[in-house]
Structure 1
Amino acid sequence: MSVEISLRAARVRYGPLEALHCVDLPVPPATVTVLLGRNGSGRTTVLRALAGTVPLSAGRVVWRGADVTRLPAHRRARRGLCFVPDRRALYATLTVAENLALGARGRDLTPALDAYPELRPLLPRRAGTLSGGEQRMLALSRALLTPARVVLVDEPVLGMAPAVAGRAYRLLCGLCDRHGTAVVVAEQRPPAGLPGGTLAHELRRGTLSFSGELAEFTSRAAGEPQPPSGRVRDRGE
């Protein structure tokens, strides 16, 4: 399996508490990878470690064979990494149009507005006045406007109606298909509608408790017999 970006024996500490315990996590290109786990499991910390918004206390971040562990977040962004956090993903005092313009960096806004036509009548509104689902649509539009090798999204469909949530995942899968983007999403539960072969990693208390295909994970969670390829391990290959 080719790897776009990975964590290798990664540890992250918040003060005296260690949030990630020697995590190995490879992210392949042109694929959606799902990080699963309850609040406090470490899934958000994995995204932050990949994005460079939290430092590693040990281990490495490797991107296309290069060690980028010490590369700050803004330089990873310039290299083609887009991080959409679950909170503070927008400039609340700026309008929807201004937020889109910042994400587009001079490019055409049409892809975002075609993907989320609900945003068109909201262009003059301040982002902080939008509903939770509308804010997530606006935040996700960054990934559609910025050509990225790696897109990291924390709870992409938080606050969205089911139909809009399904569209969001189709758009993220489209980035993989059209541009070869490596997409990593963090969710509490397995999302519906993802294609076969989608990869999943479950985190529990800062360690990996499962790595494999999403279908294997959902079968395991439902108590169904697993195929021979199903596996549970503490560290990703």
Structure 2
Amino acid sequence: MTARTAISLRDARVRHGPLEALHGITLAAVGPGLTVLLGRNGSGRTTTLRALAGTVPLSQGAVVWDGTDVTRVPAYERARRGLCLVPDRQAVFGSLTVRENLELAAPDPAPALDAYPRLAGLLPRRAGTLSGGEQRMLAISRALLARARVVLVDEPAQGMSPAVAARTYELLAALDACVVVAEQRLPPALHGRPVIVYELRRGAVVFSGEAAELRPDRGPDEPGGPGTPRGPARSE
């Protein structure tokens, strides 16, 4: 299947009270394919994901999904249409068991257990008692079972071992969906892959391009480094 722009932000601004968190950013994520939002805490990564999902409103600009303006479509309706958001916190139902969490996404949890065999031994446990890495595995598994058309994940590998983190990115990259993830730095598992990267700083896009264009040998604020502006962000 040929990748095309699946979901995008156009001149998007988001305000949190008197403060503006996104300053008119434009970005486009393809599907199927993997797009990475890079940035430090406070850069606007999480707000960008939430704007795409509809859990925070835009004060200006638009969200376009498959060529249709969905800016005013509520989050629950976007979810019904096939958009799945995995936040960095409270991504599972802590009072339910692992099995119950998975069954909320699909009747048969087998694909999730194939993805993360460790979950098989945790099925009867309440999700709130799992470690941080185990909860991320469960949250990602629910997203895999949902078979969404757009998957938005905030720090997918948080709390995971390097091996499990690499496995997680293999799973996300293999999805027949538009996948957008937010990370503080480009994960090692994605080096060498055909991944589109947007770097955000203080609510603005300062870099857009392929992962191979990033300069890992320089700091984010050095000339030629991953934070160096490369002209306007790519749009459709």
Which digits, 9 at most, give the CA deviation of each residue in 1:113-171, with x for residues without a partner? 11011011111111110000000000000121011111000000000000000000000
For structure 1, list consecutive stretches of 5 or more residues without a partner in the other structure: none
1:215 aligned residue (212, 216, 234): 212
Q: Which amino acid aligns with 2:31?
A: P
2:75 aligned residue (62, 73, 98): 73
- Aligned partners of 1:225 and 1:19: how far apart in 2? 26
Change (3 A) 1:207 1:234: farther
TM-score by length of 2: 0.92
Which digits, 9 at most, give the CA deviation of each residue in 1:32-80, with x for residues without a partner? 1000000000000000000000000100000011000011111101111
1:60 maps to: 62
Q: CA deviation at 1:224?
A: 9.8
1:91-102 pair list within 5 angstroms = 91-102=93-104
> Is the 8 Å Cα contact of residues 151 and 184 (structure 1) preserved in structure 2?
yes
2:231 maps to: 233
State whether structure 2 residue 47 is matched by structure 1 residue 45. yes
Q: CA deviation at 1:30?
A: 1.2
1:170 maps to: 170
Q: CA deviation at 1:231?
A: 6.7
Q: CA deviation at 1:220?
A: 7.0
Change (3 A) 1:2 1:221: farther
1:21 maps to: 23
Q: CA deviation at 1:18?
A: 0.3
Task: Give the SS at the match of 1:151.
Answer: strand
- Aligned residue pairs total 228
> Is the 8 Å Cα contact of residues 45 and 200 (structure 2) preserved in structure 1?
yes
For structure 2, list consecutive stretches of 5 or more residues without a partner in the other structure: none
Which digits, 9 at most, give the CA deviation of each residue in 1:56-108, with x for residues without a partner? 0100000011000011111101111111000010111111111111122x3x2
Q: CA deviation at 1:221?
A: 3.7
Q: Which amino acid aligns with 1:45?
A: T
CA RMSD, Structure 1 to Structure 2 (Å): 1.8
> Is the 8 Å Cα contact of residues 23 and 236 (structure 1) preserved in structure 2?
no
Q: CA deviation at 1:174?
A: 1.0
Change (3 A) 1:234 1:19: farther
| Percent of residue pairs identical | 63
Q: Which amino acid aligns with 1:84?
A: V
